[in-house]
Amino acid sequence: MGEYKLLTLVIPTFEDLWFREKLLADEETMSYNHTWGGTIPFPVERWKEWYDYWIVDHEDQRYYRYLKDENGFVGEIAYHYDSEYDGYVADVIVYSKFRGRGYGSEGLELLCRAAKENGITVLYDDIAIDNASIRLFLKQGFYEAYKTKEKIILRKDL
């Protein structure tokens, strides 16, 4: 895939979690998640437990980074082990006001590269059947593993 170099990956500090809270609370950003409830509350009271689990004690089962351009944070990428797939599930969210700039494609490429560097050989994602981001994943080399009435399960061999 292409070399974009629009973004850098940042391990967020605890204090940076304000951006994750803002990202998950934004209705337009989280519209892709309408099948599973839309926005996701992420109050300050949950930050420490989440931060310890995803950043401090990730146990090589979880990976999380912010996407940052020259002006600041624009999104997040992550993967985590999921026993349902007996594999790792990808996550890419770009804040709605930064969409359409290639950040989703670059973020997904950076995530795949990081997963491969960390010894992961396959990434999955389960996406609501009506979600436009399916095209983004297909362009990045994912293919349909299977689908249900609610979701499509995409897979990429790294």
- What ranges do the domains of the chain cover? 8-119
Residue-averaged pLDDT of the chain: 91
- Please tell me the predicted confidence (pLDDT) of residue 1: 47
The pLDDT tens digits for 1-60 are: 455 678 999 999 999 999 999 999 998 888 766 555 568 889 999 999 999 999 999 999
**Of residues 10, 14, 17, the one with CA closest to residue 69:** 10
- Please tell me the predicted confidence (pLDDT) of residue 9: 97
CATH, domain range 8-119:
3.40.630.30
List Cα–Cα distances, 136 to 55, 60, 108, 142, 152, in angstroms. 27, 26, 9, 9, 13
- Please tell me the predicted confidence (pLDDT) of residue 131: 82
List Cα–Cα distances, 156 to 32, 48, 113, 132, in angstroms. 21, 32, 12, 18
Question: pTM of the entire structure?
Answer: 0.90
Q: For the chain, give the number of residues.
A: 158
